[in-house]
Amino acid sequence: MPMRPNVPCGHPGCASLVPYGQKYCEKHKAMHPEETRPAGKRGYGSRWQRLSKEYLQAHPLCVQCQKNGHYTRATVVDHIIPHRGDRKLFWDPDNWQALCKPCHDRKTFTEDIRPVYEYRF
């Protein structure tokens, strides 16, 4: 059975090839810890499950669908500004919004997939 070809590293501007199924080369793996840690270690444990459930009960409709004139049940609590490990931003309810799964996936794919990095010297 033929093997799948290597794919480019997902870090912006990196042309290194990595085995299919991996996202980043060894050089850039450390810059993307959110991709390598399990959800529980990123803060999405039992406390998040409880609070997100409460938030969805208080905000049952998808915010994005409502803007388009549709009424869809929200199933995901989204961080408006990606927290990127910032605990204060993660737990701030003012940074949350209720979305349906398709809207959440669309937002994550278009806005959150390629983070902007600030390099400090």
| pLDDT tens sequence for the chain (121 residues) | 678 899 999 888 899 999 998 888 999 888 877 666 677 677 788 999 999 999 999 999 999 999 999 999 999 999 998 887 788 999 999 999 999 999 999 988 887 666 665 656 5
Question: Which pair of tokens denotes residue 85?
Answer: 């490990």
DSSP one-letter code for 6: P
CA distance 41 to 14: 27
Contact 51, 64 (CB under 8 A): no
H helices of 1-121, in order, are 26-29, 33-36, 46-58, 63-67, 87-91, 101-107
The predicted model scores a pTM of 0.66
Residue carrying structure tokens 């701030």: 92
Q: Where are the domains of the chain?
A: 1-36, 43-112
**Which residues, 6 or more positions from 17, have their beta carbon under 8 angstroms from its beta carbon?**
6, 7, 8, 9, 25
Contact 95, 81 (CB under 8 A): yes
